[in-house]
Amino acid sequence: MDLRLDGKVALVTGSSRGIGLAIAARFAEAGASVMLSSRKAEALEEAAGSLAGRGGEVAWEVANAGDPAQAEACVGATVERFGSLDILVNNAATNPYYGRMIEIDVPRATKTTEVNQLAILTWTQAAWRSSMEERGGSVLNIASIGGLAVEPGIGWYNVTKAAVIHTTRQLAYELGPGVRVNALAPGLVKTLFARELWETHGEAVAARLPLGRIGEPEDIAAAALFLSSEAASWITGQTLVVDGGAMSMPSGGT
């Protein structure tokens, strides 16, 4: 199975920590040149330092995923630095609100939509225009099992993740045969993003899961490498659930 990415250029949004950083590390180890991106320069510099000597070259660029102009600039900087953009991972997401969806305020709903949902389109548009239309490539969107189920507390976030899953199918239809577009739907993973959940309920969730533990960022990175590599060259439009079996339980989730 060809899981090497030698000669490929990858851009991962939201890659200063967590799942995005684990994906960037996996890609660099597989030989790709990798552009890291998130909102804070200091965190990016540290993340890039942690990847030094892992294989492929690593650079970083500050960009807010929810700002289309910054998407364009970051993709442009990637192509300028490395000569192309072959693999785009739309990983950055936000969840500024917790509570009943019926009570969410419009500013926080809008921010969630811009960063989690609209960014999937704008970053892919920028990648398509600057490199992928001509050279082909692969886009991987990070959704969530929340996009497949109803849950308390994070309703609007989950709606944006459901939109990520459908955007993946639509883009796959439009961008083939040159560009493949897939998604991952992680379950509960041990990162800062979900800390409150795994700190308070982690053990109980793990005990119920068929695979007996909550996820690590590396679990998601392994699946990301597969879907972004030549080994997945006949897979497009799909959402791969990586959740320790959460969606296979009688209750249908965690």
Q: Which one, 1 or 207, has the nearer CB to ligand NAP? A: 207
Beta bridge partners of 138: 87, 180
Mark whether 157 is an active-site residue: yes
What's the closest the beta carbon of residue 224 comes to ligand NAP, in angstroms? 10
What's the closest the beta carbon of residue 6 comes to ligand NAP, in angstroms? 26
Q: Which one, 40 or 81, has the nearer CB to ligand NAP? A: 40
What's the closest the beta carbon of residue 134 comes to ligand NAP, in angstroms? 26
Task: Name the residue among 247, 18, 22 with its Cα closest to residue 146.
Answer: 247
> Kind and range of the H or E element at 219?
helix 217-228
- The pairing of strands 33-38 and 58-62 is parallel
Listed in sequence order, the residues at least 6 apart from 169 whose beta carbon sits closer than 8 Å to its beta carbon are 237
Binding residues for ligand NAP, rule: CB under 6 A, are 13-20, 38-40, 43, 64-66, 91-94, 115, 142, 144, 186, 188-189, 191-194
Residue number closest to ligand NAP, CB atom = 18
What's the closest the beta carbon of residue 250 comes to ligand NAP, in angstroms? 21
Separation CA 57–CA 36 (nearest Å)? 11
DSSP-derived letter for residue 99 is B
| 3-state secondary structure at position 6 | coil
Task: Name the residue among 236, 127, 223, 142 with its Cα closest to residue 181.
Answer: 236
User: Is 33:6 a contact under the CB 8 Å cutoff?
Assistant: no
* For residue 177, cis peptide bond before it (omega within 30 degrees of 0): yes
What's the closest the beta carbon of residue 69 comes to ligand NAP, in angstroms? 13
Write b or e for each residue in 113-122: b if 16 or more Cβ atoms lie within 10 A of its Cβ, otherwise e. Answer: bbbbbbbbbb
Q: Which one, 131 or 160, has the nearer CB to ligand NAP? A: 160
What's the closest the beta carbon of residue 177 comes to ligand NAP, in angstroms? 27
Q: Which one, 178 or 252, has the nearer CB to ligand NAP? A: 252
Q: Which one, 32 or 143, has the nearer CB to ligand NAP? A: 143
Q: Which one, 4 or 101, has the nearer CB to ligand NAP? A: 101
Q: Which tokens belong to 224?
A: 């990301």
Phi then psi dihedrals of residue 166, to 5 deg: -75, -35
Q: Which residues are catalytic?
A: 157
